[in-house]
């Protein structure tokens, strides 16, 4: 290869690298996996319910293990079965509810409006090295009988000016049987509300 052609190839490669690097750097700055919460929720639940009834799976308030504040952006079920339909993902303040929902049924704000006041998932910031008083509840229905293993969630958040995400193991099994119970709520309000 002659010197002129070599210089041309080197110049083209250098230009291509310059053009690609900002794109790579900006995509990494936009989203990367950077765990800031424990990798497991520390729960192991088996929930039994009927088809098409609202099921609530909640998380304890998540401790921020990082040195930066964290704001949640979304929480989704990883490897979501096609029979499962998420109805909403909401945040609740423990200082208002006085309890944490790990497994329940029904629309909490409708059944217990004085206790469960829903907020958007991104409405709070968990300070560095601390635990927020907020917890997340995912409400969903499942349309077919069967056993559904919901092993982990994907949590998207912003921390240190970066969008990031991590998986959180929840180890929850939902067993669905029969048609929905008759009536507007599957269980009496007194079985759901604490006060």
With a CB cutoff of 8 Å and minimum separation 6, the contacts of 117 are: 92, 93, 96, 109
Q: Which of 136, 156, 135, 151 is nearest to 80 (CA)?
A: 151
pTM: 0.79
Q: Which of 192, 175, 18 is nearest to 107 (CA)?
A: 192
Please write the tens of the pLDDT for every residue from 3-17.
Answer: 345 334 333 433 444
* CATH (residue range 33-192): 2.60.40.10
**Helix H or strand E segment including 7:** helix 3-30
pLDDT interval class at 28 (50, 70, 90)? very low
Could you tell me the residue ranges of all domains in the chain? Answer: 33-192
Please write the tens of the pLDDT for every residue from 179-194.
Answer: 877 655 555 666 668 7
Give the model's pLDDT for residue 102. Answer: 83
Query: CA 121, 122, 124, 128 torsion: positive or negative?
Result: positive
Q: Which of 161, 69, 166, 162 is nearest to 124 (CA)?
A: 69
Q: Which of 124, 121, 149 is nearest to 45 (CA)?
A: 149
CB of 193 closer than 8 Å to CB of 56: no
């Amino acid at each position: 290869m002659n010197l002129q052609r070599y210089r041309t190839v080197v110049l083209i490669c250098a230009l291509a690298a310059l053009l690609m690097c900002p794109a790579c750097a900006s995509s990494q700055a936009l989203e990367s996996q950077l765990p800031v919460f424990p990798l497991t929720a520390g729960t192991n639940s088996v929930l039994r319910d009927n088809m098409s009834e609202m099921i609530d799976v909640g998380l304890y308030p998540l401790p921020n293990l990082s040195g930066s504040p964290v704001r949640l952006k979304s929480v989704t079920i990883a490897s979501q079965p096609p029979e499962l339909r998420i109805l909403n993902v909401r945040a609740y303040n423990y200082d208002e509810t006085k309890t944490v929902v790990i497994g329940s049924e029904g629309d909490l704000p409708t059944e217990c409006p004085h206790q469960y006041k829903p907020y958007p998932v991104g409405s709070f910031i968990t300070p560095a090295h601390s635990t927020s008083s907020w917890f997340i509840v995912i409400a969903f229905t499942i349309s077919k009988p069967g056993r559904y293993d919901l092993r982990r969630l994907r949590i998207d958040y912003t921390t240190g000016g970066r969008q990031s995400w991590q998986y959180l193991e929840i180890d929850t099994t939902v067993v669905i049987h029969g048609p929905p119970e008759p009536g507007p709520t599957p269980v009496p309000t007194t079985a759901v509300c604490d006060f």
